[in-house]
């Protein structure tokens, strides 16, 4: 009787416990939905950045994964994975009862966890968000319930496709397509039976079997044989087919993709432009983008050779050289040289902005021509010129030389400072600034200097890319094309976004042609003869700033505009042992010629348009007309006072480890009136070398602007 009561009590208790457990399971089942989001790393596809040919890789960003449809994965590869990981995949309910019980027992007892998860469970654990990787009974229970629900709501083929695109195979390869490329150098649809079996084998221990040697090699061969044998058991292979398989030859493991040389700077510029065009860093690192840049691999190499082969071995390490080449018709930056990434994160072509010097004079000339003046317009070339806004700081020409009343061709050929100050007075400094901005120089770089008398002489700082872009406008009949480094972006779904740069008629076709004619005289007879290309016409302008703190040559053919600058990262004088203090017509012009000679090789010879109103070779002052010193016969004229009072705007100091001084600078206005020295001037003694700074220097007058 007593035993019967105990038995009844146990039965009732057991039934009640079962009901409670069932109720709890029901509640847990209802409260554990399939997550509506996936783990970022599970679906992320890295982006690949190419040169302009769309084939040669510059860089890879993010996760190495390329998703493929299940239909593109050969049946023998799928069967190998199923045989290795979950033979009952097409028959089970998404979980393995035996495997799950074993895993739960191992978790509860704290013993080493053994395998037992189905393909569906592995997918759930690695694919959906909300499931941690901790080893706990609660997490395992959630995994089981979600796996069952996925099995009920998704097809087996969907599960297998996501699994094959998600799982990690070693060698940095995520997904079966990336694995096929990493281990065998071919796409997944070309894998053989033995190769597919190897990929299935490495899933178990991807790091160990990624590049197996010695005992690891023996272990992976044994694992591979077990997969082949399992495929006979599942019916995927016959005994004869299995016997015919041989262990596959593995492709040598590649080192992680490393950026070298200019590629680091290229990647930064591409990333910056993608961000400006609305692509987030997440899109770049995980969106599977195919990014085709404007960079030409051969021209990039030519730019590096031009700099390294032209500059003397004795060139001080503190001297930095930038080069940028822009296609006038498209605005594409086809090549650049940014220096050494090992020395500085700031490149010399895009980021470094230094005083433009006399390379800014063509913008002043363009503004004058656009305003209706002609090349025959006469301006005052005498020296010095006193400006009403600051009569205590007269503006001189190189060596104090006076030229008298000269036309605009002579003014730019001889780079006469006072002539361009006079010209800017006629046109108005705001017109000069507006023209330079329309041609590609950002307004924020012009605005702090527009009221300085020396503004038309190039006290504003520009980058090599910006200057090349501005001069490209002359070559493109006055139309400025938005500068860019990306040709197209194709997303993971195959949708292609082709970059369409903005086009602006910055100056008239006539003004561009006339300015180009004047700049041709600089190369033929003036300060830029070292830049001549003997098989085709060239137009350009030299530039040398005060104390040779920055020296330039910027020039163009009808097909390509290129800017070359040299400066010191401590803002000192650019001086090379054995070559002396540099001017724009020296090493910068030689680097320009070396690059353009190679860049133009094989290209058709195109001519510049004729200038307007040219009556013949004697239409303008000929070279030599200004050899006479006119300072004793034609008095220096003081330009008319501007109708706007000068206003001082602050500039941002360059990034350094030192705190900028909070003291106002009483001599700022005077320093704004310092003028660039010209290309043929006498060398100046090199000042003692300043202490190095942690950031890059700028040469924008006495108060440098930041590298941006």
Q: What pLDDT score was predicted for residue 405?
A: 96
Share of the chain above pLDDT 90, in %: 63
Q: Which of 182, 214, 244 is the last residue of a domain?
A: 244
> 106 pLDDT band (50/70/90 cuts)?
low
Q: What pLDDT score was predicted for residue 117?
A: 85
pLDDT at 227 over 70: yes
DSSP state, residue 480: E
CATH number at residue 108: 1.10.3810.10
CATH number at residue 351: 3.40.710.10
Q: What pLDDT score was predicted for residue 671?
A: 37
Report the C-alpha gap between 557 and 144 in whole angstroms. Answer: 69
The reply to whether 351 and 493 lie within a common domain is yes
pLDDT at 344 over 70: yes
DSSP state, residue 643: S
Residue 94 lies in a domain: yes
The reply to whether 188 and 317 lie within a common domain is no
Share of the chain above pLDDT 70, in %: 77
Residue 662 lies in a domain: yes
List % helix, strand, coil for the chain (3-state, nearest 5).
Answer: 40, 15, 45
Work out the burial of residue 344: count CB atoms within 10 Å of its CB; fewer than 13 is exposed, 13-18 middle, 19 or more buried. middle
Long-range contacts from 302-306, C-beta under 8 angstroms, 24+ separation: 302/335, 302/595, 302/598, 302/599, 303/335, 303/336, 303/337, 303/595, 304/261, 304/262, 304/337, 305/594, 305/598, 306/337, 306/591, 306/592, 306/594, 306/595, 306/598
> 43 pLDDT band (50/70/90 cuts)?
confident
Residue 428 lies in a domain: yes
Higher pLDDT residue, 287 or 503?
503
- Full-model pTM: 0.76
pLDDT at 662 over 50: no
Q: What pLDDT score was predicted for residue 167?
A: 92
Q: What pLDDT score was predicted for residue 679?
A: 43
Q: What pLDDT score was predicted for residue 38?
A: 73
Higher pLDDT residue, 28 or 368?
368
Lowest mean pLDDT among 4-13, 83-92, 590-599: 4-13
- Assess contact for 704 and 697: CB atoms under 8 A: yes
Of 47, 117, 147, 358, catalytic: 358
As for how many domains the chain has, the answer is 2
Q: Which of 306, 346, 361 is nearest to 587 (CA)?
A: 306
> 693 pLDDT band (50/70/90 cuts)?
very low
pLDDT at 57 over 60: yes
Q: What pLDDT score was predicted for residue 19?
A: 60
pLDDT at 182 over 60: yes
Residues 6+ apart with CB under 8 A from 364: 420, 423, 424, 427, 432, 456
Mean pLDDT, the chain, as a whole number? 82
Q: Angle, to 10 degrees, between the axis of helix 97-109 and the axis of helix 137-153? A: 160
- Assess contact for 382 and 635: CB atoms under 8 A: yes
Residue 363 lies in a domain: yes
Q: Which of 244, 264, 288 is the last residue of a domain?
A: 244
Q: What pLDDT score was predicted for residue 4?
A: 67
The reply to whether 230 and 335 lie within a common domain is no
Q: Which of 603, 599, 605, 601 is nearest to 297 (CA)?
A: 599
Q: How far is CA 104 from CA 134, 141, 171, in A?
A: 13, 9, 31
pLDDT (average), residues 95-115: 55
pLDDT at 28 over 70: no
pLDDT per position as a tens digit, 563-589: 999 999 899 999 999 999 999 999 999
- For residue 323, list its beta bridge partners: 337, 564
Higher pLDDT residue, 201 or 17?
201
> 676 pLDDT band (50/70/90 cuts)?
very low
The reply to whether 551 and 642 lie within a common domain is yes
pLDDT at 373 over 90: yes
The token pair that represents 557 in the structure block: 């053919």
Q: What pLDDT score was predicted for residue 96?
A: 74
Strand 539-544 with 550-556, pairing: antiparallel
Q: What pLDDT score was predicted for residue 180?
A: 95
pLDDT at 682 over 50: no
pLDDT (average), residues 165-184: 93
pLDDT per position as a tens digit, 252-289: 988 766 788 899 999 999 999 999 999 998 899 888 99
3-state per-residue secondary structure call for 293-345: ECCCHHHHHHHHHHHHHHCCCCCCCCEEEEEEEECCCCCEEEEEECCCCCCCC
Residue 706 lies in a domain: no
The number of C-alpha atoms within 13 Å of 668 and in the hemisphere containing its C-beta is 16
Higher pLDDT residue, 691 or 204?
204
Helix (H) or strand (E) holding 380: strand 378-380
DSSP codes, 113-168: PPP---HHHHHHHHHBTT------HHHHHHHHHHHHHHHHHS-HHHHHHHHHHHSB
Q: What pLDDT score was predicted for residue 134?
A: 56
Q: Angle, to 10 degrees, between the axis of helix 587-599 and the axis of helix 297-310? A: 150
Residue 249 lies in a domain: no
Give catalytic status of residue 659 as yes or no.
Answer: no
Lowest mean pLDDT among 30-34, 424-428, 537-541, 671-675: 671-675
The token pair that represents 410 in the structure block: 């002579």
Q: What pLDDT score was predicted for residue 105?
A: 52
Dihedral of CA atoms 556, 557, 558, 562 in degrees, nearest 10, equals -40
Report the C-alpha gap between 211 and 209 in whole angstroms. Answer: 6
The token pair that represents 584 in the structure block: 């724009």
pLDDT (average), residues 643-665: 31
> 94 pLDDT band (50/70/90 cuts)?
confident
Q: How far is CA 656 from CA 242, 260, 317, 569, 691, in A?
A: 67, 26, 19, 11, 12
Give catalytic status of residue 358 as yes or no.
Answer: yes
Residue 6 lies in a domain: no
Higher pLDDT residue, 145 or 648?
145
Q: What pLDDT score was predicted for residue 56?
A: 95
Q: Identify the three-state secondary structure at position 542.
A: strand
Q: Which of 640, 705, 701 is nearest to 672 (CA)?
A: 701
Q: What pLDDT score was predicted for residue 689?
A: 33
Report the C-alpha gap between 473 and 476 in whole angstroms. Answer: 5
pLDDT (average), residues 220-235: 95
pLDDT at 299 over 50: yes
Report the C-alpha gap between 404 and 409 in whole angstroms. Answer: 14
H helices then E strands: how many in the chain?
23, 20
pLDDT (average), residues 28-46: 71
Higher pLDDT residue, 95 or 553?
553
Of 79, 85, 161, 678, catalytic: 85
- Assess contact for 570 and 697: CB atoms under 8 A: yes
The reply to whether 322 and 392 lie within a common domain is yes
User: Which domain, by its residues, includes 148?
Assistant: 65-244
Q: Which of 220, 244, 268 is the last residue of a domain?
A: 244
Q: What pLDDT score was predicted for residue 6?
A: 63
The reply to whether 220 and 308 lie within a common domain is no
The reply to whether 219 and 359 lie within a common domain is no
The reply to whether 178 and 309 lie within a common domain is no
Dihedral of CA atoms 429, 431, 436, 440 in degrees, nearest 10, equals 140
Higher pLDDT residue, 677 or 158?
158
pLDDT per position as a tens digit, 519-532: 999 999 999 999 99
The reply to whether 394 and 515 lie within a common domain is yes
pLDDT (average), residues 141-164: 85
The reply to whether 382 and 458 lie within a common domain is yes
The reply to whether 352 and 432 lie within a common domain is yes
The reply to whether 333 and 233 lie within a common domain is no
Helix (H) or strand (E) holding 386: strand 385-387
Residue 668 lies in a domain: yes
pLDDT at 704 over 70: no
Q: Angle, to 10 degrees, between the axis of helix 75-85 and the axis of helix 156-166? A: 90
């Amino acid at each position: 009787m007593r035993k019967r009561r105990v038995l009844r009590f146990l039965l009732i208790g057991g039934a009640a416990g079962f009901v409670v457990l069932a109720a709890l399971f029901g509640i847990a089942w209802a409260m554990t939905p399939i997550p509506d989001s996936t783990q970022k790393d599970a679906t992320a596809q890295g982006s690949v950045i190419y040169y302009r040919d769309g084939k040669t890789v510059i860089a890879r960003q993010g996760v190495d994964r390329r998703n493929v449809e299940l239909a593109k994965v050969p049946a023998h590869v799928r069967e190998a994975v199923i045989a290795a990981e979950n033979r009952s995949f097409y028959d089970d309910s998404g979980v393995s009862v035996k495997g799950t019980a074993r895993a739960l027992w191992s978790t509860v007892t704290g013993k080493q966890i053994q395998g037992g998860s189905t393909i569906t469970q592995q997918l759930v654990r690695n694919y959906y968000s909300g499931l941690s990787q901790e080893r706990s009974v609660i997490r395992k229970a959630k995994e089981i319930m979600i796996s069952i629900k996925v099995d009920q709501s998704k097809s087996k083929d969907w599960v297998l496709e996501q699994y094959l695109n998600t799982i990690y195979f070693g060698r940095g390869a995520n997904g079966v397509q990336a694995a096929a490329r990493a281990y065998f150098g071919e796409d997944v649809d070309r894998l053989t039976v033995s190769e597919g079996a190897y990929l299935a084998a490495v899933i178990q221990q991807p790091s160990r079997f990624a590049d197996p040697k010695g005992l690891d090699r023996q272990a992976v061969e044994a694992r591979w044989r077990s997969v082949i044998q399992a495929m006979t058991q599942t019916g995927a292979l016959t005994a004869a087919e299995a016997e015919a398989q041989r262990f596959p030859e593995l492709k040598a493991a590649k080192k992680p993709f490393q950026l070298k040389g200019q590629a680091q700077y290229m990647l930064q510029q591409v990333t910056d432009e993608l961000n400006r065009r609305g692509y987030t860093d997440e899109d770049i690192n995980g969106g599977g983008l195919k990014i085709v840049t404007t960079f030409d691999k051969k021209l990039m190499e030519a730019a590096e050779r031009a700099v390294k082969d032209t500059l003397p071995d004795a060139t001080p390490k503190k001297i930095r050289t930038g080069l940028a080449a822009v296609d006038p018709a498209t605005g594409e930056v086809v090549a650049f040289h940014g220096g050494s990434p090992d020395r500085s994160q700031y490149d010399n072509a895009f980021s470094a902005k230094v005083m433009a010097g006399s390379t800014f004079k063509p913008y002043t000339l363009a503004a004058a021509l656009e305003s209706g003046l002609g090349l025959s317009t006469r301006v005052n070339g005498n020296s010095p010129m006193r400006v009403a806004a600051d009569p205590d700081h007269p503006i001189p020409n190189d060596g104090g030389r006076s030229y008298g009343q000269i036309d605009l061709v002579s003014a730019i050929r001889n780079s006469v400072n006072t002539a361009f100050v006079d010209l800017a007075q006629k046109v108005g400094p705001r017109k000069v600034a507006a023209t330079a901005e329309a041609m590609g120089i950002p307004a924020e770089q012009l605005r702090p200097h527009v009221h300085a008398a020396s503004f038309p002489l190039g006290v504003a700082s520009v980058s090599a890319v910006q200057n090349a872009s501005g001069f490209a406008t002359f070559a493109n009949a006055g139309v400025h094309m938005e500068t860019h480094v990306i040709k197209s972006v194709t997303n993971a779904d195959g949708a292609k976004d082709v970059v369409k740069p903005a086009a602006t008629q910055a100056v008239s076709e006539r003004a561009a042609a006339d300015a180009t004619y004047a700049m041709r005289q600089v190369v033929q007879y003036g300060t830029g003869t070292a830049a001549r290309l003997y098989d085709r016409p060239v137009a350009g302008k030299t530039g040398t700033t005060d104390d040779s703190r920055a020296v330039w040559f910027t020039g163009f053919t009808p097909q390509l505009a290129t800017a070359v600058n040299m400066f010191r990262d401590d803002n000192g004088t650019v001086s090379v042992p054995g070559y002396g203090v540099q001017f724009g017509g020296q090493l910068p012009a030689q680097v320009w010629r070396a690059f353009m000679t190679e860049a133009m090789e094989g290209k058709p010879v195109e001519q510049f348009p004729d200038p307007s109103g040219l009556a013949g070779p004697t239409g303008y002052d000929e070279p030599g007309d200004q050899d006479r010193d006119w300072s004793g016969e034609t008095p220096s004229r003081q330009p008319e006072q501007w109708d706007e009072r000068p206003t001082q705007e602050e500039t941002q100091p360059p990034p350094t480890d030192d705190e900028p001084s909070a003291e106002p600078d009483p001599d700022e206005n005077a320093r704004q009136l310092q003028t660039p020295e010209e290309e043929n001037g006498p060398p100046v003694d090199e000042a003692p070398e300043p202490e190095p700074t942690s950031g890059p220097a700028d040469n924008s007058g006495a108060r440098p602007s930041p590298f941006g």
